[in-house]
Amino acid sequence: MFLHLLKYRLKSLIRGKSLIFWIYAFPIVLGTFFNLSFGNMLKEDEFSFSPVPVAFVAEGNTDTSFEQILDGLSKEGEDQLFKLTKTEDGNAKELLNDGKVDGILYASPKLSLTVTGEGVNQTIIKSFLEQYLKDKTIYEQIGSTHPEKMEAAISVLSKNIQFNNEISFSNTKMNNLSQYFYALIAMTCLYGSFIGTVCVEDIQANLSVIGARRGIAPTHKFKAILADYIGGVLVNFSSVLLLFFYLIVILGIDFGTRIPYILVTGLLGSVIGVSFGTFVGAISKIPSHLKDAIISVLSLALSFFSGLMFNNMKDIVEHHFPLFNRINPAALITDCLYSLNMYESFDRFYSDIAIMGVIAALLLVGTYFMLRRTRYANIPGIF
């Protein structure tokens, strides 16, 4: 009996043209517009490193090895770290004041650095100088105490030295525009609330003809509700899978290699979407047309705060009202996808999944208490 109910619920949902458009076609159309709008920006790396412009005042230089290292790191190529300008003190200060270099390295009376800010480039120059001075001190100590081990020390300290090395935790080319597609997935999950509303209305005799017919049928009510709910989740999850396929295979959007975890995120997002719809649909005092409006507005609003229209919106909320990101289902879904691509650890992903599970459970419990023991004295205006 349960499979029979599930089968016909699936047929009923798939034949709803309006419903199918909003959960299957609309996200694909929106994803296509995103891709057309962003164009080649999606193929660019999130962070493109450029050599750090730095001036070197070599007057009175007695440390030739330092200058040789600077020259080596300034050679054009993929590993170029500095864009070096050798000049006198006055011209170097002028370049620094004009913003044409990010720092000045002085060779005498001792190696020193002058910068005017605390940005990334200034930090790179400072770290380089500190590392050089540290290694130089080690060499001098070894040379004075154990000169016979100098060759071995040079071999160890110079091993695997890489100043400019790009690493990735998930083999994913993360792009700041990816947030739009994460939010699109979240919106599709929340659009499952339309399905949830239809499923609940179809078992309430005072809201639909189908509900009135099913109300007098001998079918156990719990089986009917469970079949409708599972059917709704399956249909919504299939729309999420279709969207993933379109974005990844057709448009070439990179979601990373952790596919099973991505699918878990989509499935739990579908559960939340349908559960949200059943919760709103179970509020019998709200007219059907008003329920659709509430769901539409809330779904878009939650998706907006997760970055659907402005990709930095979730970060803005995180700085001003972080609790909202912890309870916003759309933000949690996008955060799951983001953490899978950015972090080697799964701690943040599991935390988001746990919160999503709690939200889904609360919505289902609320729906249960509103639907249980529903009785009708009469059903006016249905037939």
Tens-digit pLDDT profile for residues 46-64: 556 678 888 888 887 667 7
**Predicted confidence band at 373 (pLDDT cuts at 50, 70, 90)?**
low
Asked whether residue 217 carries a pLDDT value surpassing 90, the answer given is no
The CA distance from 169 to 49, in Å, is 18
Residue-range domains of the chain with CATH? 1-42+178-373 (no CATH), 52-158 (3.40.190)
Residue 154's pLDDT is 64
Asked whether residue 11 carries a pLDDT value surpassing 50, the answer given is yes
Backbone angles phi, psi at 345, to 5 degrees: -80, 150
Helix axes 178-190, 192-201, angle to 10 degrees: 0
H or E element at residue 263: helix 259-281
Strand duo 104-106 + 112-114: pairing? antiparallel
**Predicted confidence band at 332 (pLDDT cuts at 50, 70, 90)?**
very high
Residue pair 203/214 in contact by the 8 Å Cβ criterion: yes
Residue pair 331/314 in contact by the 8 Å Cβ criterion: yes
Backbone angles phi, psi at 55, to 5 degrees: -100, 145
Judged by average pLDDT, the poorest of 156-165, 194-203, 234-243, 331-340 is 156-165
Asked whether residue 12 carries a pLDDT value surpassing 90, the answer given is no
Backbone angles phi, psi at 164, to 5 degrees: -130, 95
Asked whether residue 262 carries a pLDDT value surpassing 80, the answer given is yes
Judged by average pLDDT, the poorest of 54-58, 83-87, 199-203 is 199-203
Q: 281-315 burial, b for 16+ CB within 10 Å, e for fewer?
A: bbeeeeeeeebbeebeeebbebbbbbbbeebebbe
pLDDT tens digits for range 106-135: 887 788 888 877 777 888 888 888 888 888
Asked whether residue 382 carries a pLDDT value surpassing 60, the answer given is no
Judged by average pLDDT, the poorest of 67-71, 210-214, 229-233 is 210-214
Backbone angles phi, psi at 45, to 5 degrees: -65, 150
**Predicted confidence band at 45 (pLDDT cuts at 50, 70, 90)?**
low
Residue 383's pLDDT is 47
Residue carrying the six token digits 């739009």: 180
